Amino acid sequence: MKDDVIFEDVRLVLEDQVTEPSSLHVQGGRIVSMGEEYSGDGTRIDGGGALLSPGFIDLHCDAIEKEIRPRPGGSFPTKVALVELDKKLAGCGITSMYHCLCFGESESNELRHARVASRVVRDMQQTQSMLTVRNKVHARFEVTDLPSVEILEALIADKAIDLLSFMDHTPGQGQFTVLEHFTSYYGQSEHLTPEQAEKLAQTRLAERDSVGNEHLYSLARLCAEHGIPLASHDDDTVEKVSFNESLGMCISEFPVRLAAAQRAKELGQGVLMGAPNVLRGKSLTGNLSGREAIEAGACNMLGSDYAPMSLLHAVFHVCSTGIRDFAGAMQLITSAPAKAMGLEQELGSLTPGHLADLVLIEDIHPGVPRVLGSWVEGNQVFSAPKVL
């Protein structure tokens, strides 16, 4: 039996309010009660008036790629990268991370080749006992890469992935509605000459014309059989959202047009935007602003995309600009992603009976919150001193 943990003098971040200084009691890794006196034995934590929030749930982040290969040609062992990134995630308040691994997108980054990405998934399985937060797998499938299908089918059958998303980076639609955006982006990210970027664009267009959609329905059916949620990527039209609905999508990630985001929301899908987009105030590729989507009621989740530290800061920004109150803003990274993944009975809110994934937050410095501590099932996985 795990020791009791009693948080005292903490402001509880509930789904509809932030309380006055109160208490929260954890027993056996789960929340037992809130606001009640407890005189028994256990570890007592004086929050000093800090905020106590549910642990953050990040459904989309590819920071693992940079941890494995921080520079071109300079790679570290996957297990080392996972252990080191795990510590950073705990320090950011992320207690559930869905690591994005790409199957079939990059021409020059071998980490995004299906067989290499699959190897990273297997390494993650073998490293779980060394990790402190919940490390999950979000497999991203480039829909034109047919050789990836067999590899993904094997991973799905082995229950080695936790979320599958379909992405289409063909120029002329989605993220790259303008051809020049495609050639500019890949020219920079893949270090291609203009001629090479143009050739890549034409190759992608030819690939998209040559493949149908049957493999997408096949993968979708397999995911449904194994209880793996599906997400779409870069929805740009209501027609595409409706097609994705026919595949069984429950999440629309980074919709690039407000109309698409609104349609996904109408259909009951979770709509996820990038926290860096919200924090910076705009998309890197000139697409839908996360702030605009939240203001329009068309976005209910944030993912850290490429910067784990951005989740908490984006929430505080949403609150400071008056788009949502603090309790409502926190739902973007707690209860909403938990619900989208079917985890709302275990995670995402401060509710008796829920697993005690918790984050203690210092908010005395305007605009720059700090994580003071993180707990997973009542076990502390990160601690930092208060700043006087």
Q: In a structure prediction context, what are the per-residue pLDDT tens digits for the chain, which is 388 residues long?
A: 578 999 999 999 999 999 999 999 999 999 999 999 888 899 999 999 999 999 999 999 999 999 999 887 789 999 999 999 999 999 999 999 999 999 986 555 667 788 899 999 999 999 999 999 999 999 999 888 888 999 999 999 999 999 999 988 666 555 666 666 666 666 666 667 777 777 776 677 666 655 668 899 999 999 999 999 999 999 999 999 999 999 999 999 999 999 999 999 999 999 999 999 999 987 766 789 999 999 999 999 999 999 999 999 999 999 999 999 999 999 999 999 999 999 999 999 999 999 999 999 999 887 799 999 999 999 999 999 987 5
What domains sit in the chain, N to C, each tagged with a CATH number?
5-53+349-383 (2.30.40.10), 57-340 (3.20.20.140)
Q: What is the DSSP string of 142-203?
A: ETT-THHHHHHHHHHHTT--SEEEEE---TTBTTBSSHHHHHHHHHHHTT--HHHHHHHHHH
Q: What does the alpha-carbon distance between residue 134 and residue 112 come to, in Å, rounded to a whole number? A: 22
Residue 177, pLDDT score: 64
Q: What does the alpha-carbon distance between residue 350 and residue 353 come to, in Å, rounded to a whole number? A: 9
Residue 144, pLDDT score: 86
Residue 191, pLDDT score: 66
Q: Are 49 and 21 in contact (CB under 8 A)?
A: yes
Residue 189, pLDDT score: 64
> Is beta strand 370-376 parallel, antiparallel or unpaired with respect to 379-383?
antiparallel
User: Side chain identity at 179, as an amino acid letter?
Assistant: L
Instruction: Of 164, 135, 169, give the one whose Cα is nearest residue 149.
Output: 164
Residue 188, pLDDT score: 63
Spatial CB neighbours of 29, under 8 Å, sequence gap ≥ 6: 2, 355, 356, 377, 378, 379
Instruction: Of 219, 109, 89, give the one whose Cα is nearest residue 165.
Output: 219
SS3 321: coil
Q: Are 152 and 141 in contact (CB under 8 A)?
A: yes
Other C-beta atoms within 10 Å of 7: how many? Answer: 25
Whole-Å CA distances, 64 to 88, 98, 214, 295:
11, 10, 31, 31
Backbone angles phi, psi at 50, to 5 degrees: -70, 165
Residue 172, pLDDT score: 55
Instruction: Of 143, 75, 136, give the one whose Cα is nearest residue 101.
Output: 136
Residue 301, pLDDT score: 98
